[in-house]
């Protein structure tokens, strides 16, 4: 299910990045700083909130309200999966490096790079979550036996 959610989210995020870059929108660097600060504190709820704030800023920068409305339908699933994924540190810092690169491409008006970076970001997150959930499921199944 979460892989399907990420397929939809990925498509919406790529579209948002492309449209925002066409407008050369500057994403507030404070959003990225807030995410990095949350990582530094190890505050998972704040990391998730900062991640959502970054993506919402991108959706709004696209200036197509249907993107944000559609994406937000799936965020309750994403928040749960992210809460699990962020229990380990492997995903925490790279996410903000990726966000920063996406924001830079958007501000520079490089729609193709912004879209490619967003696709990579979404694919990486989806693959990481799928692996983690599979590992957790295998661990739970071995404990039950």
pTM, two decimals, is 0.87
pLDDT band at 27 (very low <50, low <70, confident <90, very high): very high
Confidence tier at 81 by pLDDT (50, 70, 90): confident
DSSP 64: -
* 8 Å CB contact between 76 and 5: no
Q: What are the DSSP E strand ranges found in the chain? A: none
Average pLDDT along the chain: 88
pLDDT of residue 2: 75
Residues near 45 by Cβ (< 8 Å), separated by ≥ 6?
83
Phi-psi region of 71 (alpha: psi -120 to 50; beta: other; left: phi over 0): alpha
Q: What is the pLDDT of residues 87-131, one digit of tens each?
A: 766 667 889 999 999 999 999 999 999 999 999 999 888 787 777
Which two tokens mark 91? Answer: 């995903």
């Amino acid at each position: 299910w979460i892989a399907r959610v990420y397929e939809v989210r990925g498509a919406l995020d790529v579209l948002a990045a492309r449209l925002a870059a066409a407008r050369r929108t500057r994403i507030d660097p404070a959003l990225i700083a807030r995410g990095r600060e949350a990582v530094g504190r190890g505050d998972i709820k704040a990391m998730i909130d900062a991640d959502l704030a970054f993506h919402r800023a991108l959706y709004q920068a696209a200036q197509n309200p249907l993107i944000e409305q559609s994406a937000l339908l799936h965020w309750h699933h994403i928040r749960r999966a992210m809460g699990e994924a962020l229990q380990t540190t492997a995903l925490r810092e790279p996410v903000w490096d990726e966000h920063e690169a996406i924001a830079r491409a958007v501000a520079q008006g490089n729609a193709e790079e912004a879209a490619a970076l967003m696709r990579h970001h979404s694919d990486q997150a989806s693959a990481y979550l799928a692996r983690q959930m599979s590992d957790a499921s295998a661990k739970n199944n071995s404990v039950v036996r």
